[in-house]
Structure 1
Amino acid sequence: MKHIVSKALLAASLSPLALAAQPVFAQGVVTAADDSAPADADSTIIVTGTRRADRTVADSPVPVDVITAESLTTSGYTETNRLLNEQIPSFNFPQPSITDGTDVVRPATLRGLNPDQTLVLLNGKRRHTSALLNINGSVGRGTAAVDINLIPSIALGRVEVLRDGAAAQYGSDAIAGVINFQLRDAPEGGRITATYGEYNTNVRGIREVTSVLTGPGGTPLTNPDGTLQVARGGQDRHVVDGRTLTIAGTVGLPIGDEGGHLNLSAEYQMRDPTNRTGPDIRRQYNLINGALDPRELTFNRISHRYGDAKTDDLKLFMNFGAPITDAVELYGYLTYGYRDGESAGFYRLASDARNVPAIYPNGFLPLINTDLNDFEGVLGIKGEVAGWRYDLSGSYGRNAFDFFITNTLNRSFGAASQLAFDSGGLRYTQAMGNLDVSRDITVGWLKDLTLAGGLEYRRETFKIRPGEPASYGNGPAGGAPGAQVFPGFNPIIGGQRVDQQRSRHNFSAYAELDADVNDRINVQGAVRYENYSDFGSSFNGKVAGRFEFIDGVAVRGAFSTGFRAPSLQQQFYAAQATNNVNGVLLDTVTLPVDNPVAIALGATPLKPEKSLSYSAGLVFTAVPRLNVTVDLYQVDIDDRIVVTDNLTASRDAAGNPSGANPGFTIAQILNNAGFRTVSAARFFVNGLDSRTRGIDAVATYRFDLGDWGRLSATAGFNYNKTTIRRVLAAPGPLANVPGLILFGRQEQGRLVRGQPRTKINLGLDYDYDRLGLTFRANRYGKVEGTGGEIGPAGSLVFNDNFLKAQWVADAEARFTFAQRFEIAVGANNVFDSYPTPVPTGQAGTSATNGAAVFFPTTNYVAPFSNFSPNGFNGRFIYARASVKF
């Protein structure tokens, strides 16, 4: 909780004001044809996907979901990403573990595309991304995305989700769609809420080890994969952990007498870690004259930490708007977020060559402590002059992410090593200026016409803060250099300084029209030009339309081009770390594309990704209170930016290149650059072209039960499939190296099979007088975790993991008394469902020599896949108390 206490005191100073959201009567997802809210739900005005001032969800030519503030409160989870995962069928939020900084900044996806291919807006303004690059084995590997969990749900008035390509309207990143978080802007009212919950679960298939089995003279009895034979308890391991306390509040205050508002919101969350590890049945110590070390019999085999990281979060938000004159309004917002995180790496065995027994005679579990500081401010004026609406604003956002490694060592310094290190950090900033104008124009043959246009300037920076020298240094004792689990950022890699600030800027201009030809036909068009200082220009366009051919039945469709600029993080991130690759821990270096070593391996400057999107849909509202939308989509993306496979070097015991290609050539290149202890290298490339096809369907129905209250039902379905149309051949000197695969089976599988093919969201909300009930059920379709080869080269045995479809159900009951007080109890994952465990034991037989090939023994300690779309924590029970005023 380093620094968190002082920040919590700051939150407490706001607590008389920052209490909670004004009551919102609509609940659930309001789609472009939804009646789950009050009778006027179809007339809900949207601000995403159009610059018109009166466009509603019902007549939008593209699918836009509106998630109300109240629907975000009926869950035990308070993280915004988890709440969206429960309610948006095409939204995916896996919760990986042992992935370094990604353990505390977990990215989400929309429509199966990468996290950085969805544009995130806050009050319609582009939100800055995290400085962290998700570089390890998670969904979204190689991306730097917006940290949505830094936006507290209690500060929101609603969330608008545009499920269509929108780069022509908003610029880079809007390939999969746009998520626009609208901050609460009520001039009065508030709420304060406290939520406490914990996981109470029986971990599926994980049983405690009661003893280690030995033969005569203490010789170890082993399984075919080399692990120890053990006796286990008779029941699944019961766990109570992950205790989470969230205190949040918001309040609206008037500014002046002309309708101004000031909203203050604060949230503090304290979350203990969860641990779903299995017993580590690997041999921990070296044998003593062929017999087990006696410590083997008493070693605590729940030695890893696999689950949610320990985090402490503080979020402070201020949103305001105040009229200056009758025609001019001053507005803005300030946001601040802090997160103190602690997660773990893989346990270093006592017998591991990277351990120093004089320091850790029983091995050690290295811990990754992270400090995240985030700030954003927006100030603008808007109004109307000569019939033109205008909005002029400036913004600045900054994200800082720092690593502090504890309970570790630098093996190369031997017994003199430090046990804790400042490993450095990352910095990202975004400064923007925007001018948007629009006007309603009368044209005789059109019912309505709105013209809009605008200009934007954006400047971004990225910087690596080096760690202390001991965190990356190579000491005199030999062995693996750098702090174990996360070596510090070295300011010089491959002869290049990588700690200098990198920056770029871009200018853009757009024009848009939105026209109602008559009461039944709407057309929309947009064009946008952008020019970047680092790669040049991009021109994109979009057309969309809606035709209501029968009252209550409409068709809609859209066609658009788009792009995503390579992030500064992808271009200039540089680090050395230890990664688990199919059960083998590799010291891996990630190189910037302009690094001499990366260039020697074939790296070239990154180009923007380019997309082509099509969508077609049906809207049905002909039956009272029944609303159905079905939308089909296809997104083609060329030059997708990906990080290469880990290009592994092959060396002999002396560190010299050995064996066959491609490992021999890679070792030569790395050794020549001074990376004699680095096992593998990787860099970013425009590596492939892909096609994503899918279906989104949402249906809602509201039952009016008269004196018995009201029941709202929602059903959502998403089918999503990504295929790879082209893979880049190995570039540069590697082009002629036999057997080299730049983007291979494992990484292709992560992209096309690492997310659920289907997802179903079902919801029931019942309200009667002071009683409220909510029931949700989500079905996550199968996931195929495709792994790399685990036998000898050419064995054709792979580390695959297939997750079966999984149902997860949530339930909540709440009661209101004295009109303003509410208490609620409930459970997320009420039936304690778990994903399919990862396989262990024999994986197959090698095609090269007929020998048995086994799954990685690390699967015993990481028994569930990081690809699991609902995580792997089990049942979460909670209680909530709140007061409205």
Structure 2
Amino acid sequence: MKTTTFRLALFAAASASALLAGAASAQTALPQDEPTTIDEVVVTGTRAPNRSRLDTLAPVDVVTSEDLQNRGTTELAAALSQAVPSLTFQRPAVVDGTDSIRPATLRGLSPDQTLVLVNGTRRHASALVNVNGSVGRGSAAVDLNTIPSGALDRVEVLRDGASAQYGSDAIAGVVNLRLREAREGGGATLTLGGYRTTVDTARAAPHDEDDGGTVTASAWQGFGLGQDGYLTLSAEYLKRDATNRSDLDPRVSPAAITARFGDPEVEQWTVFANAGAPLGNGWEAYGWAGYQDRDSESAAFPRLASNANNVAALYPNGFLPKININSQDLSLAGGLRGEVGGWATDVNLVYGRNALDFRTENSLNATYGAASPTSFDSGSLIYDQLVLGLDASRQYEFGLYAPVNVAIGLEARRETYEIQAGQPESWNRGPLGGNTALGGGAQGFPGFQPGNEIDEDRTAVGAYLDVEAPVTEQLTVAGAVRFEDYSDFGTSTTGKISARYDFTPSFALRGSVSTGFRAPSLQQQYFTSTSSVIQNGAVVETGTFPATSTVASLLGAQPLDAETSTNYTLGGVFRLGNFNLTVDAYQIDIEDQIVLSELINRSFSPQVAALLDPLGVQAARFFLNGVETTTKGIDVVGRYRLNTEAYGDWDFTVAANFNDVEVTKVPSSSSVLNPVPPLFARSRIETIQQGTPDTKVSGNADWSYGRWGLTARATYYGDVLQPGSTAAADYSTGDKTVFDFEGRFQPNERVTLALGVDNAFDEYPDAVPEALNSNGVLGFPYYSPFGFNGRFVYARIGLNW
């Protein structure tokens, strides 16, 4: 299915490019003073000044603060997924911490293969490692929802490999969050919403649900610092109730909903400040700071009254464990920019820290019996990053059509990663621990043990050279090379060559070839989480071990190496008047991708048992290199703006992404084990290949006339597969189209009132079949790229001054 779709898309794009080339050749040059297109100046993907979105050598999407505001969701990641066709933000559930720290993917690749910047500087990742069965399993990605939309002026998404320009992680592309810079003015927004939906699962009769009530209050204010400086403050408060889309549980009589499968309950507040002030002699000091505190509570699988791990004295009717995560996210940055010897110079220091504190609520440790606590401190994950950057650029006259832009830079980075153990009852086996039928630790989410505690760090230094040269009036070429040295895994050198040829003022071709890399994260190198079980009367461990541990080494693990990639892009840009169209085809070949292995149990073979038994381990899994993929696709973005006196102003956008991911190689054990245990299951392969939509097409229309405004949006999502352990256990979302509408009215210049509905026709992914849902927990596939909560109705009032 994916291959057929991709070939059709490739043929259509090639045909369109040929037609556009012919049409462009027939056009005469437009007068220079006639507005041609909507050209936003961008800074991502190019270090040349004043380069517009349509003049770049690689495709860049620009999402403005207004684009982010005129929609129902107030989550940045969800809003970007609606605005950028190649970006997907799924809403996984019952996968522990990933319920709360949800990753976004670009072009169907791993979430950590997209670099996230803030004002052009590297953003720190989350401390969470996605270790359960969600898209992005094994990754530790940046949490986009730690930055409120109100703090942003715009977001630039570079859809091209850029490791040679920005360093590790930029395999799929780059998301650059540009903070608002305001000396005056301000605004406040209050958004109220909730789901008003009819739920139709496989077993239960259709029933109405009103849940997920959401309140978001945000504000920003600009202040002048001196004559030309600025200080922009922003704050946001969010409170969201949980949703539940579970099916009936056939294990109870009569059948009833026993689980909670949906969005977690969330309460968070975020503050941001962004400032800059001139110092004289052309120098400026700048900096920003942000802090977010988020409490999120999701649910694990239910424990019925008859469950062996239930204690009737505590929960006579069974219990539903809750997983609470408190996320504290901090970022601080300061810098100076000015001119040194003709070089525009920027030096900055950026610090970021993410701390996750886990609690398991409404639970118990069965090995303590009726004396068990019901609330547990389950431990913490902490990651921080300190980055010192120096960038300098200068233009040289070499007798070419225009000056050659030369940029050089250095970067030094220090990262640390820490795991802290939970309280003893969260992981220990208590007085009843000799009973092999009882699971040790807190039910739902066992705590980190003292043996899991780690405190590791590493350093990395890098240097780059970036040159962009307009060779003729029509031809521009660029090249970049970057060298990086890591204290743990070694060095990497990447390069990139780009070119653009403007056949006419209306039509251009652009393309690039680049190599990329992604260093193994500290989270992947050192994350460990184990639980205790009874084997032959002895306590043994089972869980995730570092690749460098004795356990993993005996099973064939090697120290992790960097992922590497080769990226190819070729596209065309067509613009005429207020219409523009970009078509960009790409191929991304990735080698040595890092993944989490399957759990290797001692029962697999006598040889495995002989290796694990002396270590007191029953089963182990670990991170390893070895997956190779080829991703092919096409991005199409068209925009037309029409301004009329009689019928108002119109802005039309159509955007599409056609994407095909193929796994070409999977890892095999490098140990002497024979037979080799399965290291990467079929379900993991299918998740990479079919876990994100192969086709995503969105159409958006914005209309404004006087005090009235309207937005209408339709997004088509191709079928997504949620794989099971065998092909017979697979289920999918189906091909779906989601419609969103918003109406706005301004009673005066300072007030905007809006009413809207996302998913207006209450579209759901296909329900999980009864035969594949023995406990009723999963009502719908959580791989769904548009979620599984149904219609969302909201109202918003905005003030500006």
When normalised by structure 1's length, the TM-score is 0.84
Amino acid at match of 2:580: N
SS of aligned partner of 1:136:
coil
User: Of 277, 302, 310, which aligns to 2:246?
Assistant: 277
1:266 to 205, 211, 235: 235
Select which of 260, 275, 293 maps to 1:338: 293
Structure 2 residue runs of 5 or longer lacking an equivalent are 1-23, 25-29, 533-540
2:774 to 845, 857, 860: 857
The yes-or-no answer on 1:829 pairing with 2:759 is yes
CA shift, 1:500, in A, is: 2.9
Offset of 1:237 from its aligned partner? 1.6
Aligned residue number for residue 11 of structure 2:
none
Amino acid at match of 1:642: V
Q: CA deviation at 1:517?
A: 1.7
Counterpart pick for 2:615 among 656, 673, 678: 673
Matched with 1:813 is: 743
Alignment match, 1:30: none
Q: 2:209 aligns with which of 239, 242, 245?
A: 239
2:722 paired residue number: 785
1:13 matched residue in structure 2: none
Residue number among 338, 342, 345 corresponding to 1:383 in the alignment: 338
SS in 2 for 1:414: helix
Shift of 1:51: 1.4
Q: Which amino acid aligns with 2:269?
A: L
Aligned twin of 1:540 = 494
Aligned counterpart, 1:308: 263
Of 19, 43, 50, which residue of structure 2 is paired with 1:47? Answer: 43
Partner of 1:482: 441
Amino acid at match of 2:568: Y
Report what 2:623 is aligned to: 684
Deviation at 1:669, TM superposition (A): 4.2
Per-residue deviation, 1:333: 0.2
Which string of whole-angstrom CA distances, capped at 9 and with x for unpartnered residues, describes residues 742-771 of structure 1?
A: 112011111111111110111000000000
Is the 8 Å Cα contact of residues 454 and 526 (structure 2) preserved in structure 1? no
Query: Any unmatched runs of 5+ in structure 1?
Result: 1-32, 209-234, 284-295, 493-497, 579-586, 651-660, 790-796, 842-854
Write out the 4+ residue segments of structure 1 that deviate beyond 6 Å after TM superposition.
Answer: none
Aligned partner of residue 707 in structure 1, secondary structure? coil
Question: Hey, what's the Cα distance between the residues in 2 that align with 1:242 and 1:648?
Answer: 40
- Displacement of 1:728 in angstroms is 1.8
Name the amino acid aligned to 1:857.
S
The 5-angstrom pairing of residues 636-655 of structure 1 reads 636-650=589-603
Of 372, 378, 391, the residue aligned with 1:417 is 372
* Shift in Å, 1:278: 1.0
Residue 733 of structure 1 deviates from its aligned partner by 4.1
Q: Distance in 1 between matches of 2:180 and 2:517?
A: 31
SS at match of 2:551: helix
Question: Per-residue CA shift, 1:261-306, capped at 9, x if unaligned?
Answer: 10000000000001111111114xxxxxxxxxxxx45xx8222110
| Structure 2 counterparts to residues 320-335 of structure 1, below 5 A | 320-335=275-290
Distance of aligned partners of 1:669 and 1:874 in 2 relative to their CA distance in 1, 3 Å threshold: farther
Report the Cα distance in structure 2 between the residues aligned to 1:671 and 1:346, rounded to whole angstroms. 30
Give, as a single letter, the amino acid of the residue that structure 2 aligns with 1:878: Y
Instruction: Say if 1:689 and 1:76 are closer, same or farther in 2 by CA, change over 3 A.
Output: same
1:13-55, CA deviations, whole angstroms, 9 ceiling, x for partnerless residues? xxxxxxxxxxxxxxxxxxxx9x9xx957554221111111222
CA distance in 2, matches of 1:39, 1:830: 36
Pairing 1:461–2:416 present: yes
1:705 to 623, 636, 644: 644
The 1-side partners of 2:324 and 2:610 are apart by 35
Once the 2 structures are TM-superposed, how far is the Cα of residue 187 of structure 1 from its aligned partner?
Answer: 1.1
Moved more, 724-733 or 474-483: 724-733
Question: Within the alignment, does 1:726 sit opposite 2:668 as a pair?
Answer: no
Of 146, 149, 153, the match for 1:157? 153
Please tell me whether residue 504 in structure 1 is matched to residue 473 in structure 2. no
* Structure 2 partner of 1:793: none
How far apart in 2 are the matches of 1:856 and 1:700?
44
Secondary structure at the residue paired with 2:98?
A: helix
Alpha-carbon shift at residue 59 of structure 1 (Å): 1.1
Alpha carbons of structure 1 residues 466 and 119: separation in structure 2 relative to 1, 3 Å? same
Describe the superposition over 1:671-725 as per-residue Cα deviations: whole angstroms up to 9, x where unpaired.
Answer: 433245xxx4211010211111100000111122223211111001101111112
Q: Secondary structure of the equivalent of 1:713?
A: strand
Residues 575 and 629 of structure 1: is their aligned pair in 2 closer, same or farther, counting only changes over 3 Å?
same
What is aligned with 1:84?
Answer: 80
Residue 21 of structure 1: aligned partner: none
Listed one character per residue, the Cα deviations across residues 516-537 of structure 1 (whole Å, up to 9, x for unaligned) are 1232111111000000000110
- Aligned match of 1:766 in 682, 685, 703? 703
Mapping of residues 585-596 of structure 1, within 5 Å: 589-596=543-550
Q: Distance in 2 between matches of 1:884 and 1:236?
A: 43
Secondary structure of the corresponding residue to residue 857 of structure 1: coil
CA contact (8 A) 1:206 1:236 kept: no
Q: Deviations over 1:57-81 (max 9, x none)?
A: 1210100111111111111110001
Partner-residue secondary structure (3-state), 1:605: coil
Matched, 1:884 2:800: yes
Distance in 1 separating the partners of 2:470 and 2:567: 23
Secondary structure, aligned partner of 1:197: strand
The change in CA–CA distance for 1:608 and 1:196 in structure 2 (over 3 A counts) is: same
**Partner residue in 2 for 1:514:** 468
Letter of the structure 2 residue corresponding to residue 449 of structure 1? V
How has the CA–CA distance of structure 1 residues 869 and 577 changed in structure 2, closer, same or farther, with 3 Å as cutoff? farther
Q: What's the counterpart of residue 634 of structure 1?
A: 587
Give, as a single letter, the amino acid of the residue that structure 2 aligns with 1:693.
K
Give the Å deviation of 1:838: 1.6
Deviation for aligned residue 1:863: 1.6
Code of the residue aligned with 2:220 in structure 1: it is T
- Which of 630, 655, 660 lines up with 1:716 in the alignment? 655
Tell me, yes or no, if structure 1 residue 869 matches structure 2 residue 780.
Answer: no
Decide whether the 8 Å contact of 1:645 with 1:747 is kept in 2: no
Deviation of 1:386 after TM superposition, in Å, equals 2.5
Equivalence for 1:65: 61
Aligned-residue offset at 1:206: 5.5
464-473 vs 438-447, greater mean Cα deviation: 438-447
Structure 1 668/810 Cα, relative in aligned 2: closer, same or farther at 3 Å? Answer: farther
CA distance, structure 2, for counterparts of residue 43 and residue 856 of structure 1: 51
Segment of structure 1 superposing worse, 46-55 or 873-882:
46-55
Letter in 1 for 2:443: Q
Q: Does 2:110 align with 1:114?
A: yes
Question: Partner letter of residue 556 of structure 2?
Answer: G
- Deviation of 1:361 after TM superposition, in Å, equals 2.2
> Bigger CA drift: 702-711 or 368-377?
702-711
CA drift at 1:588: 5.4
How many angstroms does 1:358 deviate by? 2.8
Q: Matches of 1:73 and 1:577 in 2, distance apart?
A: 45
Helix, strand or coil at the partner of 2:197: strand
* 3-state SS of 1:501 partner: strand
1:624 alignment partner in structure 2 = 577
Task: Provide the C-alpha distance between the structure 2 equivalents of 1:761 and 1:669, rounded to a whole number of angstroms.
Answer: 54
The answer as to whether partners of 1:687 and 1:743 remain within 8 angstroms in 2 is no
Secondary structure at the counterpart of residue 201 of structure 1? strand
Alpha-carbon distance in 2 for matches of 1:245, 1:206: 31
SS at match of 2:454: coil
AA in 2 matched with 1:784: L
Q: Which residue of 1 aligns with 2:675?
A: 737
Q: CA 1:665–1:808 in structure 2 vs 1: closer, same or farther (change >3 Å)?
A: farther
The alignment yields a C-alpha RMSD, in angstroms, of 1.9
Structure 1: distance between partners of 2:627 and 2:430? 41
SS in 2 for 1:569: helix
Label 1:700 to 1:687 Cα distance change in 2 as closer, same or farther (>3 A). Answer: same
Whole-angstrom CA distance in 1 between matches of 2:243 and 2:654? 31
Q: Following TM superposition, by how much is the alpha carbon of 1:648 offset from its aligned partner in structure 2, in angstroms?
A: 4.0
TM value normalised by structure 2? 0.92
Counterpart amino acid of residue 615 in structure 2: A
